[in-house]
Amino acid sequence: MAALQAQSLEVTAVTLLLGLMMGGVLHRSHFCTMGALSDWVIMGDTTRLRQWVLAISLAVLGVGALSGWGAISPLNTVYAADRLPWLSYGLGGTMFGVGMVLASGCASKALVRLGAGNLKSLVVLMVMGISALATMRGLPAVWRVQYLDPVALALPHGAFVGQTLAWWTGWALPLSWAVAAGLIGLSLGLWVLKESAFRQSSNLWAGLGVGALVVAMWWVSGVLGFVPEHPQTLEPVFLGTASGRMESMSFTAPVAMWGDAFMYFSDGSKRLTTGMVLALGVMLGTFVSAQLDGSFRWEGFSQTGDLALHLLGGTLMGVGGVLALGCTIGQGLSGLSTLSWGSFVAVAGIVMGAWLALKWQLYRAERLA
């Protein structure tokens, strides 16, 4: 047990370090999924969109390599299931996409902005956390379980592209995962890098940095934090994760868990998870980065209408992030890195929701003008 506690502490320390690094990278590079979609829809600029796709490409290749070598298995992740709750994923993704536009950024962007002094993001995170917690455990959770989650498609050949490829070809699962990841990851990377104007150090650093940190977190959770046989339960366990399974980066549920722990920590059942540590690390990493480059500024709401939109956006992100099993990082990077079929549905919903909200904002701005 002493060795297990030491290993848990090591996992927590390395996770915090990765969170600090993620905060610094996100702050300095202005990496933002909502911003990428906004640039693309409104201005036709794909620079930040290519940063996001480059991060996906590296994350896919990294997880494919780790899976091919047998270091980890996506079957041990939260994305592994024999059913695809397409209604929850699609509706949740759409709600999250709309919400992140109304709230001026997704969950990770809100953490970054809060670390740089933006108190509007604090309001967004608080509302998002409350609505996410309610969707996980409150009255909305009852509706979710009864009416949304049962609407699903069977996945007889597995929840991942690699499993489907193994069924088609008869290859061993590690080989199928590596091949699928190689084909998809390299294709995405080639699309990104074919644009000569994109091949600048700042753009490459943003995409590769975020993608590498997602892969690093998979290694921490699946290798560093893996215990083949717990001394008490005699079962395999992944230390520190909220689900008890292998996890990478995601921020909607961890923000909710921080609120839950703040209110009910004394009941003795609460524990610090890797997701909670990552969220804290991102905020602290941004704070350090903002202090070093002199960009830290206190900001707040100046108009009631702006407050209303951010409250609505935070609510939609909290509910949508739980329904979709992740945010733009949890599904848009961590989930896609495993090539989960459900992640494709959730991310399509996020993109659709963001597109609808951005078009509404354009229409509203034109009417006001």
Token duo for residue 139: 């009255």
pLDDT tens, 283-311? 999 999 999 999 999 999 989 999 999 99
Specify whether the CB–CB gap between 338 and 63 falls below 8 A.
yes
Residue 263: exposure state from Cβ atoms within 10 A (0-12, 13-18, ≥19): exposed
As a whole number, the mean pLDDT across the chain is 95
Is the CA virtual torsion 80, 86, 87, 89 positive or negative?
positive
Question: Helix or strand or coil: residue 21?
Answer: helix
The H-or-E segment that residue 154 falls in is strand 153-154
For the chain, the residue count is 369
* pLDDT at residue 240, as a whole number: 93
pLDDT tens, 73-95? 999 999 999 999 999 999 999 99
* pLDDT at residue 29, as a whole number: 94
- Asked if the model's pLDDT at residue 268 lies above 80, the reply is no
The C-alpha atoms of residue 118 and residue 52 are separated, in whole angstroms, by: 23
- Asked if the model's pLDDT at residue 265 lies above 80, the reply is no
CB-based contacts of 217: which residues, under 8 Å, 6+ apart?
Answer: 15, 18, 247, 248, 249, 274, 278, 334
- Asked if the model's pLDDT at residue 246 lies above 80, the reply is yes
